[in-house]
């Protein structure tokens, strides 16, 4: 008997959704950050859902209820941002064991409601049910596209610059610290990395800014790690990519932590997930304009890390000494045995 | 420490969602079958979500994966039907233990997909994640309202006729049979009742027909049982109701089963849940028109069971001998200790 644990997440999704028959209104179905539905002529709805289960996606041992609630909303906001869309409203299904302290439920909702308020998302409905032993949170979020434009993973062109917002790898290092796989004696550094994991900031305004003002060809949010998510752009755009190791943005905090712990920051930055930064491609000329117009108030670095190249299969990485070699793509997949 | 199990489901929802600040586009928030969002001038979206958790809402011991998938979609379709809306598209989040046979997942999706196909619902996206030990299914469904009309629970008027489609109580009896609380030696009867529980038929076309052609004042689907759901209409319409015991529609199958098992069919019909029939109110005059125009092809009885009455507090039930007394309202509530 084949078990679902014998397959990787992406294989399983393919098996379950292969050959789905969509209606003509379904512009984009399963396989991007959001689905796209044409609700009336030229008006597109973005739709995404994310399920978080206790002891798989979070644990009450290391995360406060407030932050779990915030992050549940942040994941969905990030999916909408990665299409260049505006979030509109959300539905929350919540499964709670009977033994959950009521304070956990109310604090969770304080987080959910505060994140919704900050991003002007209307929390319009939901379902609250009993769960035998784990807290389960499912967020569905609907959004729309300013000027009817949305950015897919599949539109990258050969020669495009590959650009990422913010820094990569902090979240994965924070998770390792929470799981006590590594340690950090400097409490400020520890707290910054842990914060990156527990309280990621979805890039809503930057996503809208990019969609409204620039000809961005492909975009995704970095939830599965740079290698995995750039891999999705490559696959869906049917192109390869080259990235430059010394250009991958790593925060000073991650560098210092890795120096002390004798770890490679690049490993965190390339394969770590849940940074929720935006990864996108556009022509070098368009990138030049973007750099000059990127709003300072975003307080968010923009880094050109490589280029799309039809001559490459998969992803190549160029080391500081100029050597170029294929990157072993690895990203977080539910189910996959490691 | 107060635990969530110390409260009823409706208390908990009130605690979590009290004073939610909606956007001006939110026409109906938490508290009806669906939320209503004004997506563009005069165009309303209906939104609902339902979470089903293994060993709370279904068990793999008694239900096939196919039927679990069908029912997950049916619950949401029924919520859209109860607003008089058309379903448009759905998102599915699925949590699966690694040890789930792959066949369970694929059969579940055959059920999900076939129900979506039958009702022209586009399955446009979802999330598939690992779950520690229980299968979790969350369905979010979006719909719209023909001619911009939607029917709430809150619009009933004193003097309105109370009407229900189909028969009540079969599903609850089927559940008792599955749980071996009762037994039935006649295999055909057993199978009909069990089928009513495992494979309920959402009343999509009847719901649309009612909204498009008649001035229905209030509507709800009977998922928490007649007493519970009529109670929701009473509360939200700030009225009482009178129902007549001998008018409550009970199927011949349920009657025969109850006769043999020495059970009261009325108990099933009044407090049992998950029949997914439509319960609605309208003026007696409008009901006369409706009766003459109710399409035969629905093959669905329409029964006038009572009237809304501002002089009553809660629900009164009139027994066959003409005695009228308050009904002890009881419906299924998650969490509530029994």
Q: Which of B320, B328, B214, B310 is nearest to B270 (CA)?
A: B328
Q: How many Å apart are CA A236 and CA A230, to the nearest integer?
A: 10
Sequence ranges of the binding site of A for ATP: 109, 126-127, 153, 223
Q: How many Å apart are CA B71 and CA B273, to the nearest integer?
A: 14
- Residue B109: what pLDDT? 96
* pLDDT (tens digit per residue) in A68-115: 999 999 999 999 999 999 999 999 999 999 999 999 999 999 999 999
Query: Could you tell me if the ipTM is greater than 0.90?
Result: yes
Contact between A59 and A179 under an 8 Å Cβ cutoff? The reply is: no
Distance from CA of B334 to the nearest CA of A (A): 6
Q: Which of B133, B126, B129, B114 is nearest to B64 (CA)?
A: B114
Under 8 Å CB-to-CB from B320, ≥6 apart: which residues? B245, B246
- Domain co-membership, A116 together with A247: no
If you ran DSSP here, which 8-state letter would residue B58 be given? Answer: B
- Domain co-membership, A179 together with A67: no
In a domain, B31, yes or no: no
In a domain, B22, yes or no: no
- Domain co-membership, B289 together with B195: yes
Contact between B214 and B84 under an 8 Å Cβ cutoff? The reply is: no
Cα-based distances in Å from B153 to B169, B220, B279:
21, 6, 10
From B125, B148, B171, give the residue that closes a domain.
B148
- Domain co-membership, A171 together with A300: yes
Sequence ranges of the binding site of A: 33, 48, 50, 57, 79, 109, 126-127, 153, 221, 223-224, 274, 332
- Domain co-membership, B224 together with B312: yes
- Domain co-membership, A120 together with A178: no
Chain B nearest-CA residue for A120: B23
- Domain co-membership, A204 together with A143: no
A19-33, A90-104, A105-119, A138-152: least confident range: A19-33
* Residues of chain B contacting residue A33, judged by C-beta atoms under 8 Å apart: none
- Residue A148: what pLDDT? 82
* Three-state SS at A195: helix
Chain A contact probe: residue of B103, B138, B153 with most A CBs at under 10 A: B138
The 10 Å Cβ neighbour count of residue A79 is 31
- Domain co-membership, B166 together with B197: yes
Q: Does residue A338 surpass a pLDDT of 60?
A: no
List the domain range (segments joined by +) for residue B194.
Answer: 161-326
Chain B nearest-CA residue for A107: B16
From B100, B117, B148, give the residue that closes a domain.
B148
Under 8 Å CB-to-CB from B85, ≥6 apart: which residues? B34, B46, B143, B144, B145, B146, B150, B207, B208, B211
* pLDDT (tens digit per residue) in A239-275: 999 999 999 999 999 999 999 999 999 999 999 999 9
Q: Was B276 annotated as part of a binding site?
A: no
Q: How many Å apart are CA A38 and CA A22, to the nearest integer?
A: 12
CB contact under 8 A, B95 and A123: no
From A148, A169, A194, give the residue that closes a domain.
A148
Contact between A136 and A51 under an 8 Å Cβ cutoff? The reply is: yes
Chain A nearest-CA residue for B93: A51
Q: How many Å apart are CA B325 and CA B164, to the nearest integer?
A: 21
- Residue B334: what pLDDT? 61
- H or E element at residue B306: strand B302-309
* Residues of chain B contacting residue A88, judged by C-beta atoms under 8 Å apart: 25, 37, 39
Chain B nearest-CA residue for A122: B22
Sheet of strand A278-282: strand arrangement: A218-221, A278-282, A161-165, A302-309, A240-244, A315-318, A324-326
The 10 Å Cβ neighbour count of residue B43 is 14
* Three-state SS at B202: coil
In a domain, A155, yes or no: no
In a domain, B30, yes or no: no
CB contact under 8 A, B22 and A98: no
* Residues of chain A contacting residue B24, judged by C-beta atoms under 8 Å apart: none
pLDDT bin (cut points 50, 70, 90) of residue A61 is very high
In a domain, A154, yes or no: no
SS (H, E, C) A6-41: HCCHHHHHHHHHCCCCCCCCEEECECECCEEEEEEC
In a domain, A247, yes or no: yes
If you ran DSSP here, which 8-state letter would residue A160 be given? Answer: P
Q: Which of B221, B227, B235 is nearest to B268 (CA)?
A: B227
Distance from CA of B72 to the nearest CA of A (A): 13
Vertex A206: Cα angle to A201 and A207 (nearest 5): 95
Q: Does residue A336 surpass a pLDDT of 60?
A: no
CB contact under 8 A, B51 and A127: yes
CATH number at residue A249: 3.90.650.10
- Domain co-membership, A173 together with A53: no
Contact between A243 and A316 under an 8 Å Cβ cutoff? The reply is: yes
* Residues of chain A contacting residue B131, judged by C-beta atoms under 8 Å apart: 53, 56, 134, 136
CB contact under 8 A, A12 and B105: yes
CB contact under 8 A, B37 and A124: yes
Q: How many Å apart are CA A23 and CA B117, to the nearest integer?
A: 10
In a domain, A26, yes or no: no
Percent pLDDT > 70 in chain A is 97
Q: How many Å apart are CA B262 and CA A253, to the nearest integer?
A: 73
Please compute, for residue A87, the number of CA atoms within 13 A of its CA located in the half-sphere on the CB side: 33
Residues of chain B with pLDDT under 50: 338
- Residue A178: what pLDDT? 95
For chains A and B, count residue pairs whose Cβ atoms are closer than 8 Å.
282
- Domain co-membership, B174 together with B274: yes
Q: Phi first, then psi: what are they for A302, rounded to 5°?
A: -125, 120
What's the token pair of residue A322? 């100029």
Q: Which of A290, A293, A301 is nearest to A215 (CA)?
A: A290
If you ran DSSP here, which 8-state letter would residue B85 be given? Answer: P
Vertex B226: Cα angle to B224 and B230 (nearest 5): 95
Contact between A81 and A208 under an 8 Å Cβ cutoff? The reply is: yes
Strands A43-53 and A136-144 turn out to be: antiparallel
SS (H, E, C) A210-247: HHHHCCCCEEEECCCCHHHHHHHHHHHHCCEEEEEHHH
CB contact under 8 A, B56 and A2: no
CATH number at residue B111: 3.30.1330.10
Q: Which of B30, B62, B65, B66 is nearest to B49 (CA)?
A: B30
* Residues of chain A contacting residue B27, judged by C-beta atoms under 8 Å apart: none
Work out how many domains chain B is built from and give that number. Answer: 2
Distance from CA of A105 to the nearest CA of B (A): 8
* Residues of chain A contacting residue B15, judged by C-beta atoms under 8 Å apart: 102, 105-106
CB contact under 8 A, A129 and B57: yes
Chain B nearest-CA residue for A119: B23
What's the token pair of residue B124? 């446009």
* Residues of chain B contacting residue A110, judged by C-beta atoms under 8 Å apart: none
- Domain co-membership, A90 together with A214: no
Chain B nearest-CA residue for A4: B102
Q: How many Å apart are CA A124 and CA A131, to the nearest integer?
A: 22
In a domain, B175, yes or no: yes
Rg from Cα positions in chain A: 20
- Domain co-membership, B171 together with B301: yes
Distance from CA of A99 to the nearest CA of B (A): 6
- Residue B233: what pLDDT? 97
CB contact under 8 A, A95 and B2: no
- Residue A329: what pLDDT? 61
User: What DSSP assignment string belongs to A281-338?
Assistant: EE-HHHHHHHHHH--GGG---EEEEEEEETTSSSEEEE-TTS-EEE-------SS---
* Three-state SS at B156: coil
Distance from CA of A260 to the nearest CA of B (A): 34
């Amino acid at each position: 008997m084949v078990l679902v644990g014998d397959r990787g997440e992406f294989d399983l999704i393919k098996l379950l959704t292969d050959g789905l028959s969509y209606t003509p209104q379904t512009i984009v179905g399963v396989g991007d950050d959001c689905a796209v539905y044409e609700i009336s002529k030229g008006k597109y709805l973005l739709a995404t859902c994310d399920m978080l289960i206790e002891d798989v996606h979070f644990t009450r041992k290391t995360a406060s209820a407030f932050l779990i609630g915030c992050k549940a909303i942040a994941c969905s906001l990030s999916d909408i941002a990665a299409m260049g869309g505006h979030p509109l409203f959300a539905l929350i299904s919540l499964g709670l064991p009977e033994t959950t302290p009521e304070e956990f439920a109310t604090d969770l909702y304080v987080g959910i409601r505060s994140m919704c308020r900050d991003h002007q998302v209307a929390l319009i409905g939901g379902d609250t049910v009993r769960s035998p032993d784990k807290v389960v949170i499912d967020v569905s979020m609907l959004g729309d596209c300013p000027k009817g434009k949305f950015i897919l993973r599949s539109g990258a062109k050969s020669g495009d610059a590959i650009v990422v917002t913010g820094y990569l790898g902090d979240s994965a290092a924070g998770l390792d610290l929470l799981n006590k796989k590594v340690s950090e004696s400097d409490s400020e550094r520890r707290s910054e990395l842990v914060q990156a994991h527990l309280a990621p900031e979805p890039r809503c305004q930057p996503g809208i800014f990019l969609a409204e003002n620039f000809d961005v060809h492909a975009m995704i949010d970095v939830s599965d790690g740079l290698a995995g998510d750039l891999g999705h752009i490559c696959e869906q755009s049917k192109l390869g990519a080259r990235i430059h190791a010394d250009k991958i943005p790593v925060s000073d905090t991650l560098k210092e932590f890795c120096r002390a712990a004798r770890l490679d920051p690049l490993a965190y930055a390339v394969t770590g997930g849940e940074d929720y930064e935006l990864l996108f491609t556009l022509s070098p000329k368009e990138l030049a304009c973007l750099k000059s117009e990127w709003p300072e108030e975003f307080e968010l670095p923009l880094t050109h890390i490589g280029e799309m190249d039809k001559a490459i299969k998969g992803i190549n990485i160029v080391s500081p000494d100029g050597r170029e070699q294929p990157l072993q793509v690895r990203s977080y997949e539910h189910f996959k045995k490691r």
